Each structure stands twice: as structure tokens, then as C-alpha cells.
Structure 1
């Protein structure tokens, strides 16, 4: 039941304001909802702030991303054990700057990419007292992506269940209640492992508050239109709370093409969130064509070009044409 707070206006009438029904964003069925219970479909970008020499905490860059209408930014980060720059104070600042620009922050740790053995080391960072303090401060509007693309194609279903079951339990024991985001194995690309184990992990989470993120680095012919359509359809039929955490027009090293237009369309049809890789403040060293902004105007709205301009602004299913913010989200920029 929603609680109400009385508000006595100057002209003498008594009104009531609806207090949030919950304290954090919440996954219900396959959809994400804000603390007031309104559905949220994520539309945004990734940015590698942890490697930025010019704008580590995004003070200049988040306002530029916000000009697209994005409602979320996935923030690449590293633990302080792997890079001193990842200290709790900097994490606090980068999350705060995202919120000041009216967007949902989704920090993720990049230190276990492709390496299953490092999953719990990433959790060590999230449950450290100084980081827990930061996460609790921002919890009402936070999505926490546990770790980026943990594990290669050799990760078994048993390992995935046990590893992420333990990770979720540790984070919840530390008092973190916001939605936790779990990437697929095989460098994020395995949607099969999410479909096979997502329901199990949801039941293991005492708060039932998980999102599952596939990274669609599916190059043709394996990543052709039919696979994208079929896998999204299967996930929807299963009721899996799925998002597409990364995609671009081409594969790693610029090898092969990815049908990103079908990703945009199918996600829109099925109300599935997505974040494009990547904004371009920090260069994609293995494939510059992935950068959404050009070299002359790195990380700036007026630098949008090529596929970045399409995905952000001009495509029928672009951020600008499909992103929506709930009433709760429209207040994010006013958070102190």
C-alpha cells in the first residue's frame, strides 16, 4: 500500500502527495519500474570513464550525452585494487554527475572481462565498506552491473549459477537493494546461459531484483537478422528481464558486421532496454568505427556522426525518438 504525505497549501486545501511505493528501482516480471511503480525502458550509451584523461567523473560529458534524451549511461569502471583511480570518492563523483544530468547511472567493473576466476574479486570492491556507503547514498536511482562480460565460452551452467548466486548473496548481505545486472558469459555474448539460468538466479535473490544483459557482438552470418529476432522472441516468451548492454555496427577489431538496426527495432517492439557501445570520449582502440562521436569533438553532442548519429538521433528507433523518462526520473537532476 502506498503511503501518503499531507501537504497543506497556502490557500487552505489539504492535498496528498504519493510517497514512493518502494525505495529503489524494481524488476517486476520482465520489466524495470521506478520507485513510484512506473515502467522504465532503458535507452542510452556506454562510456569508458575510468580510462578518461580529460573527464574521469563525467562532469563535462554527461550533459552532452543528456542532449540525446538518453535515460541511462552504463559507466565502465575498475576497482581501486586494479586501478587507484577507481577509489570510492571518484565512483561517488561519476555517479553524482550522471544523476545531475537526469540519467540513471549503471556502473560496471571491467576487471574480469573474459576471466571467470575474477568474478568474486569484483564483488570484493562492491561490498567494501567505503563503496557500500557510496552505493547506499545513490541507491534510489542506481542500477548496479556486477561485472563486465565475465568468463569465456567455457563457463558451464553450474559455474554460472554458483558464481552469480554467491555474488548476488554477498551484495545483498552488504545491504544493497537496487537492481543488480548480470552479463552473459562468453564476453557477454551468451544469451543461452542467461535464458537457462535467469529464472534460477531470480529465485535465489531474496529481493527478486535482477536484470540480465546480453552483449550482441553477433557478427554475420551468426548475428544475422533471424538470430536477433529469434533470441529476443525466446527471451520475451520466457519472461526474462533482458536488456542489451552493448552493441555496435561491427565486431571486435572491426571484424564483421552487426545488424544493429534490427537490434533497435526488435528492442523497441518488445520494450527491451539497450545501451550502445560507445559514446566516444575515450577511443575504442581496437575499432575506432565504434566511437559515436568524432575525433574533433570527442564526447560532445555536436560530434555525433555516422552510426552514432543514427543511433542517438536520426533512426526511427534512436534514443531521441524512443527514450522516455518517468516523472520520478525527471526529478533526478534535482537530486542533491
Structure 2
């Protein structure tokens, strides 16, 4: 029998499950806007038509747990070894791809048996199904974009949503070859990079296709939903970024002044998308660029080039540098970026931020 072709994001280390960070006197405002009782939270009819494309991480975002971690802990290297490997990624000792191959290679379980373990442990966002129906009703493409294995993610969605609903979701992830006896799990990487899947490149591909299909030349609104720092590679290509409240992506966005909208469940995202599209219709009539268009996407594409590293990167951990700039910061040849002198920023000097024009101007 041919091998079952089916990763998840092993780099999402346990710190993503930390309690909500203490933001103290942070001044960045929460961009969520309460919806008045008379305002529908699921109806985009009557608005000028602008294409919206949504990309969402899977582990820790749609589902609260990490599918790969569940498998590794129960039928692979075990929790202790997995944490050691996660630390190797964080310290820059090994690449995400290299560590992931060891984790998946440690599994000794048939695909269906492993899925039964995941099914018992996984918890879906309580409002995701309603949000999914909202996307279908309003013809909004919803795409899962993950460093995981596509066959696993599809099987999970089929189980929790039903195959009829699951088929509306496109999955952009790595494949894998899994032997029938479960003694061999081998990822088939989407890209030949230290990450295995360049999420930013995938979003760029979809944006180009959507723009070329637009009859009036309007630019689609790109939305990204995530929970971890590893999602920033894709988030830099988005016009609107949603970060799950209390996890590492939100914390990092606040620390680095990256515009974002915090969310607790997908109900918050649904409400915000309706608000944003109403605002966009009022100001642009759905033509040209969306009001929250991210002009810094080109900045980010340039930022991966050597000798052109954004200022705040100098203070990033090696883990963040490798995730966000894999072409520049590699395990084999990571450049030494000099630390800036500790002095106050001169008056009038602008700070480098990776995204601009976020809703309501959060910084």
C-alpha cells in the first residue's frame, strides 16, 4: 500500500501556554470595538465588494493544543525530549526543520491510532464553527496556514467540523509520508528553507492570484490570525493582524509596537471584520487599496536581505531572528549584529515598526 501522505508547529514551545502577560502600565489600546445590540455581526450584505482573504494558524489558534506535541508526548520522543528539542530551536543550535524531522521521526504509531489520541485531547475554539459559517455565508476564503502536516490537519477538521464544512477550508502546510505500520513518519517540506514552510511566501502567492483575478483592480484585504512568534513571518504580509490574547504573539506585538488586534475567541474576529469592512466601504467604496493596506510589506521583504536588518531586530533573540529572517540568520552562518549604543532616541527620529496603518492606529 502506498504510504499515507500527511506537521504541526513543534517550535511553538511551552511558553505559548503561559498565563496572560502582565502588561502593567502599557498604553497600547485594545482595538476591539463593542458591537451595538442593533448591529448585525454576521452580515456584509449591502457593502461595497472587496475581496477578503483570511489566513489562520492551526495549533494554539483554531485549536487550543498543539497536534504534534500530543503525538510526540504519547507515541514519540516524550515530553522531556520534546522540550529539550524546543530549547535547541530557541537557542539557535538547530533549525526548526532539523528538529522537526527528529520529532516526527520518533513516532511509532499508525496514523489512525495517533489520531484517536489527538481527538481526545484537542479542544476547538468555542466560536470557530460560527465564524466558519460566517465566512461561507459571505464568500470569504478561509485558509489554514501551518508548519504542520496537512493530512493531520485535514483529518482533525473533518472530525470536528464534518467533511461537508471542512471542504471549504484550504490547508497550506507540509505533506508527509507515513508508513502503514506507523514506524516511519517523514515530513515532505513545502519549501527548501530552515523552516520547511515559508508562510510569508505562501501568503504572497495568494495575494498575487487574488489581485490578478480582480476585475476592477482593487487590492484584496489580507487578514492573518495567529498565536505565536513563529507566525510573524506570515503576519508581516497581512493588512490586519489578529493575535490571541495572553499568548506570545500578542506579547511580542506589544513589546515591539506591532499593530494588531487582540482576540479571545473567533467571535471577536468576526465582529472586527464586519466593522473594518463597513469602515472600508464608507471611505473607499471597495475600490483601490483597502483602508488598512499594509505598505510596509515591501519593507519586510527587503528586511530579509543581508546588511539590511531592522533596528529592533538587533535586540531580538536568535530564535526570533531565525524565524523571521531565515535567509539571513541561519544556524550555520548567523551574522553577528552589533548592539546599538544605549542612548535615548533623538527627538524626531522615527522608530522602525514592521506594520503600519493598523485599525485605529494601535502601536
TM over 0.5: no
User: Relative contact order (C-alpha < 8 Å, sep 6+): which is higher?
Assistant: 2
Which of the two has greater strand per residue? 1
TM-score by length of 2: 0.29
TM-score norm. by structure 1 comes to 0.30
